[in-house]
Amino acid sequence: MMRALWTAGGGMMAQQFNVDVISNNLANVNTTGYKKERAEFKDLLYETVDRAYMLNGSGKPVNLQVGHGTAVVASVKNFSAGNLEKTDNNLDFAINGDAFFQVKGPTGETAYTKDGSFKVSIGDQGNILTTSDGFPVLDDTGNPITLNVDVSKLTVTSSGELNYIDQTGATVSLGQKIGLVKFPNKQGLEAIGNNLFKPNSASGAAVLDADQGDKSSLQQGYLESSNVQVVEEMVKMIVAQRAYEINSKAIQSADEMLGLANNLRK
């Protein structure tokens, strides 16, 4: 009977984590470039009461086992594309494809993002392209992108090359290109907040998108919205809530059965 208490308790803890993940998805429904998460579970240790066997044409064809519940094993990002929203802002960019922008993170390391809502900040070398938090956006050589031109005249090609329209109407290259990168295993990327990801040994090192066969493209004047579907998350929330409730009922039933056993009289 005690096994039922611990098993159902573990189920409640797992569903609580599931609700936490769903709540984070719903909280970020309007976050630019946000990628929804999904909690994944595994079953725990099994106690084998009687093992299956066959001997001389007879025996027991099935096992007698009882499990010890479930536990959360992973929270997996879904990197499917969100809708592209037209903003008509020259400093807004959306990526068509699996690539990421490169930025100089808060501690000086290179971080990666899908959020292309960029701004212009004043730096030591002039105006630089940054994220909304002020992190410099990097080009394909790993250097901050400088924009010492009228940003209203800025144009960016689908491959990320930065140009501007001069007074004669001619297109002049700025000599820099927005750095787009991909990862061998993007599911291994670690979210660090501020719409940023950092790589690790599971994700593999970043490789330039231009060196890949299936290239991504940029859309200037657009932003990629969150890929969270509110109705889908609400359905998941209801299922998780019911699973949590039924596990609590299992604890109550186990407690009542223990109470009955304790009250037995000879």
Express each pLDDT in 35-85 by its tens digit: 999 999 999 988 888 888 887 878 888 888 889 999 999 999 999 999 999
Going by C-alpha positions, the residue among 180, 197, 177 that lies closest to residue 109 is: 197
How high is the mean pLDDT of the chain?
91
- Tokens 């802002």 belong to which residue? 89
Distance, C-alpha 260 to centroid of its chain: 48
What CA–CA distance (Å, rounded) separates 29 from 207?
29
Closest to 131 (Cα-Cα) out of 227, 39, 236, 223: 223
| 242 phi and psi angles, rounded to 5 deg | -70, -40
Domain locations in the chain?
2-79+228-262, 84-224
Whole-angstrom distance, CA of residue 114 vs CA of residue 222: 12
Q: Which of 7, 32, 37 is nearest to 22 (CA)?
A: 37
Collect all residues with Cβ–Cβ distance below 8 Å to 126 and sequence separation of at least 6: 146, 147, 148
* Count of CB atoms situated within 10 Å of the CB of 173: 11
90 pLDDT higher than 70 = yes
User: Residue 214 has what pLDDT?
Assistant: 84
249, pLDDT greater than 90: yes
What is the per-residue pLDDT for 54?
83
75-79, 106-110, 151-155: which has the highest mean pLDDT?
75-79
Please, are residues 43 and 83 in contact by the beta-carbon 8 Å criterion? no
pLDDT classification of 13: cutoffs 50, 70, 90 = very high
Could you give the 3-state DSSP secondary structure of residue 136? strand
Going by pLDDT thresholds of 50, 70 and 90, the confidence category of residue 152 is confident
Q: Taking residues 88-93, what's their average pLDDT?
A: 93
Question: What local confidence, expressed as pLDDT, does residue 220 receive?
Answer: 94
Confidence of residue 235 (pLDDT cuts 50, 70, 90): very high
Place of tokens 């940003």: 151
Residue-wise pLDDT for 158-215, tens only, equals 999 999 888 888 888 888 999 999 999 999 999 999 999 999 999 999 999 988 778 8
Is pLDDT above 60 for 266?
A: no
How many Cα atoms occupy the beta-carbon half-sphere of 250 within 13 Å?
A: 19
Average pLDDT over residues 98-118: 93
pTM, whole model, 2 decimals?
Answer: 0.86
Output the pLDDT for position 223.
96
